[in-house]
Structure 1
Amino acid sequence: MRSAYLRSVVAVALCSATIAPAMAEKVLGPVSGEVKFISHSADLGVGYTWGKGVLIYDGKQYPFEVSGASAAAIGFSSGDSVGKVYNLQRLEDFEGTYWALSGEATIGQGLSGSLMENNDGVRIRLQENRSGGRLAASPSRLSIHFVKPKANKTTTDAKTPS
């Protein structure tokens, strides 16, 4: 019962701290894409977050990796994140360092929300479903980099032994 109450309080706090979807475009800029990714966080005061995902922009998918540090959190959690990307004018503006404010209360299953922004004015508003055990209300510094496609090696170039 107490866990359900804690989750409700955190969910209300996250909802009031994030912007309602109808007003988001006014404040965050135009919606220009979507992101989906899986991430993991491990913290003991200061922590580390890492993961992989995909940016959906202009009808195409661009895989990326995310990693970075956070403060004022304890525990471990992992989960799926989905979000809207705002104010992305050029694809190359998506990569870089983002500052994020996030909150999470995960005991078994939990909710998390983040609002991220980089130096090019690109903003990402995330909703996350997490599992594990983690409590966080922290600023984070995350880096996002596109994953380069791997070249396919052909076997026709290989020499056969004589």
Structure 2
Amino acid sequence: MIYQKQIFVSILVVVACMLAANFAVAEETKPSGTITIESHSVALGFGVNWGHGTLKFKGKEYKFKLNGLSVVDLGVSNVSATGEVYHLRHLSDFAGTYNAASAGIAVAAGAGASYLENQHDVVIKITSKKQGVQFTLAAEGLRLKLIE
């Protein structure tokens, strides 16, 4: 019964994050670009994330790497994610530290949603698919860096 309540609360938070992300970018309906991410995480209360991805912006592809921390996180997982990037006017504004509100649960396979924003007001809406065992109901910070 306790796990059912945790799953229910997690689902509500995921839905709330997705709705908040939709309202936040409602003014700009067309994304500036898209991203794909492959990452890994290990967590026991605090989590560590690392990985790489590709940004598609103005008809070109740019590789980037990511690393970050999370709290209220437990488990080990591999994550494949896709997302839309908003308010990106210059490529140089993409790199930076993104703050995120996330929610998700994975037992063998699961899903999550994140809304991220950096110091240049670039917004990324991410939907992820996880493999492994992980429970997340947390604030996260991710650092994205373009690979030259």
Q: TM-score range by the shorter chain?
A: 0.7 to 0.9
- Give the match for residue 68 of structure 2: 68
Tell me, yes or no, if the aligned pair for 1:11 and 1:111 is still in contact at 8 Å.
Answer: no
Displacement of 1:19 in angstroms is: 2.5
CA distance in 2 between partners of 1:33 and 1:3 (Å): 38
CA distance in 2 between partners of 1:92 and 1:119 (Å): 12
- Give the match for residue 121 of structure 2: 121
Tell me, yes or no, if the aligned pair for 1:79 and 1:129 is still in contact at 8 Å.
Answer: yes
Displacement of 1:11 in angstroms is: 3.8
Equivalent residue runs for 1:27-106 within 5 Å: 31-106=31-106
Dislocated runs of 4+, deviation >4 Å: 2-9, 20-24, 27-30
Structure number with higher relative contact order (C-alpha < 8 Å, ≥ 6 residues apart):
2
Q: TM-score if structure 1 supplies the norm length?
A: 0.80
SS in 2 for 1:18: helix
Displacement of 1:45 in angstroms is: 0.6
Displacement of 1:3 in angstroms is: 8.1
Where does structure 2 lack aligned partners over 5 or more consecutive residues? Answer: none
SS in 2 for 1:121: coil
Residues 50-82 of structure 1, C-alpha deviation per residue, up to 9 Å, x if partnerless?
Answer: 111000000100000010111110101112100
Q: Which amino acid aligns with 2:122?
A: V
Q: TM-score if structure 2 supplies the norm length?
A: 0.88
- Give the match for residue 152 of structure 1: none
Displacement of 1:9 in angstroms is: 6.0
Tell me, yes or no, if the aligned pair for 2:21 and 2:125 is still in contact at 8 Å.
Answer: no
Against the structure 1 CA distance between its residues 65 and 94, is the aligned structure 2 distance closer, same or farther, given a 3 Å change threshold? Answer: same
Q: CA RMSD in A?
A: 2.4
Structure index of larger Rg = 1
CA distance in 1 between partners of 2:22 and 2:46 (Å): 34
Tell me, yes or no, if the aligned pair for 1:37 and 1:54 is still in contact at 8 Å.
Answer: yes
CA distance in 2 between partners of 1:76 and 1:118 (Å): 26
Q: For this pair of structures, how many residues does the alignment match?
A: 147
- Give the match for residue 151 of structure 1: none
Tell me, yes or no, if the aligned pair for 1:34 and 1:85 is still in contact at 8 Å.
Answer: yes
- Give the match for residue 158 of structure 1: none
